[in-house]
Amino acid sequence: MCLRLRLLTLEGSVSSPFTRFSGSLTSFPFSVKPRIPIMADAGSVEALLQLVEKADGGVDSLDVASSIGVDHQVIVGAVKSLQSLGDVISAEQRSSKHWELTEEGTELAEQGSHEARVFSSVPPEGLPQSELMKLSFGKIGFSKAMSNKWIRVDKSHEGGPRIFRSVESIQDQVREKLLLVQRGAPLEEKDKNELKKRKLLAEVTVKSYWITRGSSFSTTLTKQETELTAEMIATGSWKDRKFKPYNFEAMGVAPDCGHLHPLMKVRTQFRQIFLEMGFSEMPTNNFIESSFWNFDSLFQPQQHPARDQHDTFFLSDPALAHDFPQDYLERVKRVHSEGGYGSQGYKYDWKIEEAQKNILRTHTTAVSARMLYKLAQQEKFTPVKYFSIDRVFRNETLDATHLAEFHQIEGVVADYGLTLGDLMGVLHQFFTKLGITKLRFKPAYNPYTEPSMEVFSYHEGLKKWVEVGNSGVFRPEMLLPMGLPEDVSVIAWGLSLERPTMIKYGINNIRELVGHKVNLQMVYDGPICRLDS
Amino acid sequence: MERGALCQLTVGLELDEITSEKEIISREQGDSKASGASDVILYKIDVPANRYDLLCLEGLVRGLQVFKNKLEAPRYTRVSPIDGEVQRLIITKETIAVRPHAVAAVLRNITFTKERYDSFIELQEKLHQNICRKRSLVAIGTHDLDTISGPFTYTAKPPGDISFKPLNQTKEYTATQLMSLYKTDSHLRHYLHIIEDKPVYPIIYDSNGVVLSMPPIINGDHSKISLTTKNVFIECTAMDVTKAKIVLDVMVTMFSQYCSRPFTVEEAEVVYPDGKTCIYPELAYRKEKLSGEFINRKVGISEPTEKIAQLLTRMCLLSQPTGAGDEIEVEIPPTRPDVIHACDIMEDAAVAYGFNNITRTTPRTYTVANQFPINKLTELLRQDLAAAGFTEALNFALCSQEDIADKLSKKISDTRAVHISNPKTAEFQVARTTLLPGLLKTVAANRKMPLPLKLFEISDVVLKDESKDVGARNSRRFCAVYYNKSPGFEVIHGLLDRTMQLLEVKPAREQGYHIQAADDSTFFPGRCAEIFVYGKSVGRLGVLHPDVIGRFELSMPCSALEMDIEPFLGHTAEALLTHDVPMRETIKHISSRQDKSYVEGFVASQADAAVFDAIRSTPPQTLQHLLRWYNHIKSFQMDRARLPATKTQFVLLNACPSSDHASDEDIDLFGSEDEAESAETARIKEQRLAEYAAKKSKKPALIAKSSILLDVKPWDDETDMSKLEECVRSVRMDGLLWGQSKLLPVGYGIKKLQIACVVEDDKVGTDMLEEAITAFEEHVQSVDVAAFNKI
């Protein structure tokens, strides 16, 4: 099964049994050379070696075949297997042209030319033409014999046309010439052409090997081992054995294992970065959120476009949230509708009905709000650093880079006296861990942060600044109603997990990464995730 | 203009791109279409969504010139008409049902050019899309005042009773006809829904019955403005009066520069149904005072007060140091409705300073990081499940009802699924209640891959849960499928065994896990088992029903496993971390009642000193904010004479109705309406403080509890462990609650008892527990605390 014969030795000849398989056989991805080295029978290999030993300067594989009396293919096989054993012989490919009888030519060489056979079929008393024509060679032989004037036709004979010999004896020159060719004797050009025209002869190209002794020539072969075995180690016999060389060009066998999803591998790295920086993970396992925590608590007004049906998934069941910290809710209502905490407020009619509406959270900041509120309920404020990486949902138009759900990465730091410079410093550290060192900040607008900054990094490939995240300082209108001390500042930033993953793994269509249309081959082939390299 | 230069001078905006019409068309539609398009250079600028003053070229240029000190910010003034005839807009009560608010103003002797006119129209459109929320909140109508005569009436009528010639039409239509006419109008059809279903439509007439407009849909043709219009009457009808005022202010401040008296706007009077009148536009300038230190501290810079005032002035916020310490008085013009808090002023200072010029610093916040326990468990499990030969999939949390019900041969009503009210497609009807359909769809999309396909996912599903504030909760699940020519139940079963090994649960009926035949319509009859862990069901595994396989467009047998992993969390204190918030506040917040850290403003002042004096003793620990303030003010004692005098923080030209929310509170610690603190008020305050403390002490105090995990080792290998446990559990104390327990091997066949308990810190100590348990000398050798966590 491991034959690796690729050579078609006889061009234009009838196909050999090997050529038919060679294509498929070579496609086996085995890294070792054929395990059965001697495919040709041992006899012909031995005979070949003996001939090579005797001959000075080498022998032709065709001569070997004819002198041993086997098909040339067998010798080619023997050459191949000897080559695989190392430098026993050296074989150089050559090609020669010679004339050979066709199938019809061979038949004629055996049985005589058609015209000769016609002549011998005609008895002295003659033969009706119709009888002659029934013979297989009749038609061709008749016209040839006629032109050679070996026979004549008596058309007026009673009982139809009848054929008679017109000479006593003939010489079958065609057959003689064919026999000459068969014996390998030379033939005149004119004769060759005539026989070729009659499709009795054909010129064929023969590929053969010129075989000479190799540097480690020997007529006695030691069998090469394919693999080291436990027995060889036990007996020490490996010391005396020769081992077949490996084919290091081929690929190895893929290990049988499972794989982690690329997006999750990137998530693991981001978690790692946050943990390295001392950030604690927030409990974001609540996809369903009330508008209150998702928007109102963040000082996002109730008419804000993000709260539109076109941007947010609302729930029909359970449609409303039923439990809120009542005191806090009152403070939130007041800061929206009237202001306070040093703010003018938005001065509109804040409605609990709007806050109650359940939605699929549009950002994990809803959980940050819950956590900050809980922090404010602590007896004593303690500084915190929080992070989360989890799913968020937007009822948006979908395209190659946007889905209705994606993972948001979020970092939050709350402490006394944090500055905008601190936010930029933390972002610098965070992005440095991602391998991004050139950062720039651009003013932006966000209802719950002031100042708000878009974070840009210089992309070496695109030769321009690209947005990598959003950041800001939470507004006092968000923090103070929660009950956090006035001089506590909370800085935060966010980015999506999918975008860096798509860049990292060179994926253009997000559907190939997330969701059931994932390309599993891509998952199988994915490298480990090192964000900073 | 050089690109870098503009980026440098950011006034809160960024030059996005320099391009031309030709470039845009060629990029979007190809070069051939672009030939003939304009080569004029376009500057694409990204304007923050709340900066309405930068939406038109007039405002943008004005902003840049002020920033570059080439122009002083203009002062916008409201003037009375020269002839004394104020334009009046009378609102009738019918509008209450449909669109109750309206404001108006007049731009007198304006000169339009083509560019100015186009910019004027464009600004209206941008405002309509932005702050006006596609005209639903506010709609702007502009009219040639010389074609109409006041007073104007804003009323509402049944659509059949309204008839006029709308803008750019040649004949009159009734409102009903108009609504059907505009159904096909690519622009106007988006606004029809705002009033379509109302019994009456809003409409504005002049004194001759000429229709000015039918807000928020269309203006009348009669009063349309043109390049030759000299006097413009602007009306804004609205659902929200605050927004209407802002929109009117923006319109008039931007275009009053083309009036014969630049930056003046002629007032108009609006008469409400109750007879009350208001003069518009408000054009209110508001003054705020803040300290240079506040800005330096928030931004992280240290600029002198004068420099900060200059920075703010360049941002069109006219500012000057008052001379009292580092105090700065900032005037907020009517063009900046986005400035509603001192932090907005701080941002402008930071923007003017340049974000990228601020030194990046590292906060010294010291924290110890914790992972969210369920995520930690998930991360660890995922690694080992991949090592077990299964490949991780990641599917959507949203799906169709069919996916979680019909396709799995289940009824949607039995799923406890949450339903989405506004899905754009069937893919987003529900949140998934099971991970299985996602994995089966992943298999279906990867049928070309070599078999077997072995997939898993650990992720959240969402279930309705009345006990949660929002009525739903997430549940962390583990799901795996094996898809091959044979069902491979043994493979999935083997994965369960491996998973249990990973989770340290032994195969055993009561003190471990086992599986037991179960009926489930998703699975092939007789090929489904329920997974029990410590006697509780956590999930199912089995060979899928051929119907299910078919519905997911699969053709081979498939076995699957799905189970909850939250039961394996263990009982550490960390495990109690949750997004649930307390619904009652146990601690009253002084600072939440009080806007500031200090009695007045952002710096300590004499007001603080006065209040400090009024409080005779250090406040109790329970009033932590008060205590913090007390200690802080105490630190000023040496310098108190130098503290600034009391003041009123904000001068509000346009004060909102004063909020007296403090009056309904049972305590008002710093009722600082009175500037000077008398001894009497201070005494009352202290009395109240005492009352409050007393009242608070009656409230159930927050009880400090701890969760303790004890290791109890038996006397010898012959000790009856069940007897031992019985003994331990027989220990009863006030504030002690025994929890789960399990037996763990120690070695040589000896097991120890691990038992959890929750104790109230004040009542039960670990010493007491140890003492009580070791008292059972016959059974107990030793007691150790394996884990101790504050709850």
Decide if B392 and A258 are in contact by the 8 Å CB cutoff.
yes
Q: What is the pLDDT of residue B17?
A: 66
Q: Residue B591 is nearest to which of A268, A275, A485, comparing CB atoms?
A: A485
Contacts of A474 (CB under 8 A, 6+ apart): A372, A448, A449, A489, A490, A491, A492
Q: Are residues B317 and B432 located together in one domain of the fold?
A: no
Is residue B72 in a domain? no
Q: Are residues B464 and B338 located together in one domain of the fold?
A: no
Reported ipTM:
0.72
Q: Are residues B527 and B604 located together in one domain of the fold?
A: no
Backbone angles phi, psi at A502, to 5 degrees: -65, -40
Decide if B420 and A313 are in contact by the 8 Å CB cutoff.
yes
Q: What is the pLDDT of residue B697?
A: 54
Q: What are the tens digits of pLDDT across the range A175-206? A: 888 888 777 777 788 887 887 888 888 887 87
Q: Are residues B388 and B525 located together in one domain of the fold?
A: yes
Given B554, B574, B594, which residue is the final one in a domain? B574
Q: What is the pLDDT of residue A191?
A: 80
Helices (H), A409-465: 420-433
Q: What distance in Å separates residue B162's CA from the closest CA in chain A?
A: 30
Decide if B397 and A405 are in contact by the 8 Å CB cutoff.
yes
A211-215, A234-238, A301-305: segment of lowest average pLDDT: A211-215
Q: Are residues B595 and B526 located together in one domain of the fold?
A: no
Quick one: closest CA in A to B447, which residue? A520
A190-199, A494-503, B424-433, B567-576: segment of lowest average pLDDT: B567-576
Give the confidence band of B717 by pLDDT, cuts at 50, 70, 90: confident
Is the pLDDT at B27 greater than 80? The verdict is no
Is residue B225 in a domain? yes
Quick one: closest CA in B to A258, which residue? B389
In the chain, the amino acid numbered A165 is R
Decide if A275 and B369 are in contact by the 8 Å CB cutoff.
yes
Q: Which residue has the tokens 């986005």?
A: B338
Q: What distance in Å separates residue B438's CA from the closest CA in chain A?
A: 6
C-alpha dihedral over B693, B699, B704, B705, to 10 degrees? 180
* Residue numbers in A near B347 (CB within 8 A): 443, 450-452
Instruction: Over range A258-263, report the average pLDDT.
Output: 95
Give the confidence band of B614 by pLDDT, cuts at 50, 70, 90: low
Q: What is the pLDDT of residue B692?
A: 62
Mean pLDDT computed over every residue of chain A: 84
Decide if B396 and A405 are in contact by the 8 Å CB cutoff.
yes
CATH at residue B734: 3.30.70.60
On whether the CB atoms of residues B623 and B590 are closer than 8 A, the answer is: yes
How many CA atoms lie within 13 Å of A50's alpha carbon, on the beta-carbon side? 9
Is residue B654 in a domain? no
The domain of B389 spans 373-574
Decide if A518 and B394 are in contact by the 8 Å CB cutoff.
yes
Q: Are residues B415 and B403 located together in one domain of the fold?
A: yes
Q: What are the tens digits of pLDDT across the range B155-192? A: 999 999 999 999 999 999 999 999 999 999 989 999 99
* pTM, 2 dp: 0.70
Q: What is the pLDDT of residue B13?
A: 56
Q: Are residues B379 and B309 located together in one domain of the fold?
A: no
Q: What distance in Å separates residue B390's CA from the closest CA in chain A?
A: 4
Q: What are the tens digits of pLDDT across the range B496-532? A: 999 999 999 999 988 899 999 999 999 999 999 999 9
Quickly count: other Cβ atoms within 10 Å of residue A17's Cβ: 7
Q: What distance in Å separates residue B696's CA from the closest CA in chain A?
A: 14
Give the confidence band of B695 by pLDDT, cuts at 50, 70, 90: low
Quick one: closest CA in B to A260, which residue? B392
Report the number of secondary-structure helices (H) and strands (E) in chain A. Answer: 20, 16
Q: Residue A520 is nearest to which of B10, B449, B469, comparing CB atoms?
A: B449
* Residue numbers in B near A523 (CB within 8 A): 391-392
Q: Residue A287 is nearest to which of B243, B375, B474, comparing CB atoms?
A: B474
- Residue A284 to residues A156, A307, B372, B468, B474: CA-CA distances in angstroms? 115, 21, 9, 14, 9
Given B260, B280, B300, which residue is the final one in a domain? B280
Q: What are the tens digits of pLDDT across the range B344-367? A: 999 999 999 999 999 999 998 999
Is residue B379 in a domain? yes
Decide if A318 and B472 are in contact by the 8 Å CB cutoff.
yes
Is residue B648 in a domain? no
Q: Are residues B94 and B222 located together in one domain of the fold?
A: yes
Decide if B358 and A424 are in contact by the 8 Å CB cutoff.
yes
How many CA atoms lie within 13 Å of B684's alpha carbon, on the beta-carbon side? 9
* Residue numbers in B near A261 (CB within 8 A): 391-394
* Residue numbers in B near A484 (CB within 8 A): 591
Give the confidence band of B605 by pLDDT, cuts at 50, 70, 90: low
Q: What are the tens digits of pLDDT across the range A319-378? A: 999 999 999 999 999 999 999 999 999 999 999 999 999 999 999 999 999 999 999 999
Q: What distance in Å separates residue A26's CA from the closest CA in chain B?
A: 22
Decide if B341 and A476 are in contact by the 8 Å CB cutoff.
yes
Instruction: Over range B229-242, report the average pLDDT.
Output: 94
Q: Are residues B185 and B256 located together in one domain of the fold?
A: yes
Quick one: closest CA in B to A375, which residue? B581
Is residue B668 in a domain? no
Instruction: Over range B114-119, report the average pLDDT.
Output: 94
CATH at residue B86: 3.50.40.10
Give the confidence band of A498 by pLDDT, cuts at 50, 70, 90: very high
Is the pLDDT at B142 greater than 50? The verdict is yes
Helices (H), A286-325: 291-294
Q: What is the pLDDT of residue B746?
A: 77
Q: What is the pLDDT of residue B578?
A: 83
In 3-state terms, what secondary structure has residue B787?
A: strand
Q: Are residues B306 and B269 located together in one domain of the fold?
A: no
Q: What is the pLDDT of residue A16?
A: 37
Mean pLDDT computed over every residue of chain B: 84
Closest by CA position to A318, among listed B412, B471, B467 = B471
Closest by CA position to B250, among listed B4, B55, B454 = B55
Q: Could you give the number of structural domains in chain B?
A: 6
Instruction: Over range B242-270, report the average pLDDT.
Output: 94
Q: What is the pLDDT of residue B610?
A: 65
Q: What is the pLDDT of residue A98?
A: 76
Closest by CA position to B452, among listed B422, B472, B431, B480 = B480
DSSP bridge partners of A454: A442, A470
Q: What are the tens digits of pLDDT across the range A377-433? A: 998 999 999 999 999 999 987 887 788 999 999 999 999 999 999 999 999 999 999
* Residue numbers in A near B49 (CB within 8 A): 445
Domains annotated on chain A, with CATH: 38-95+203-252 (3.30.1370.240), 103-202 (1.10.10.2330), 263-525 (3.30.930.10)
Given B574, B592, B616, which residue is the final one in a domain? B574
How many A/B residue pairs have CB atoms within 8 Å?
358
In the chain, the amino acid numbered B704 is A
Q: Residue B656 is nearest to which of A271, A338, A518, comparing CB atoms?
A: A338
Give the separation between CA B766 and CA B780, rounded to whole angstroms: 16
* Residue numbers in A near B593 (CB within 8 A): none
Give the separation between CA A290 and CA A315, rounded to whole angstroms: 10
CATH at residue B481: 3.30.930.10
Output A266 or A92, whichever has higher pLDDT: A266
Q: Are residues B225 and B299 located together in one domain of the fold?
A: no
Quick one: closest CA in A to B622, which residue? A379
Q: What is the pLDDT of residue B740?
A: 83
Q: Are residues B474 and B557 located together in one domain of the fold?
A: yes
Is residue B688 in a domain? no
DSSP states of B266-311 as a string? E-EEEE-TTS-EEEE-----EEEEEEHHHHHHHHT----HHHHHHH
In 3-state terms, what secondary structure has residue A394?
A: coil
Q: What is the pLDDT of residue B114?
A: 94
CATH at residue B38: 3.30.56.10
Is the pLDDT at A145 greater than 60? The verdict is yes
Is residue B663 in a domain? no
On whether the CB atoms of residues B286 and B654 are closer than 8 A, the answer is: yes
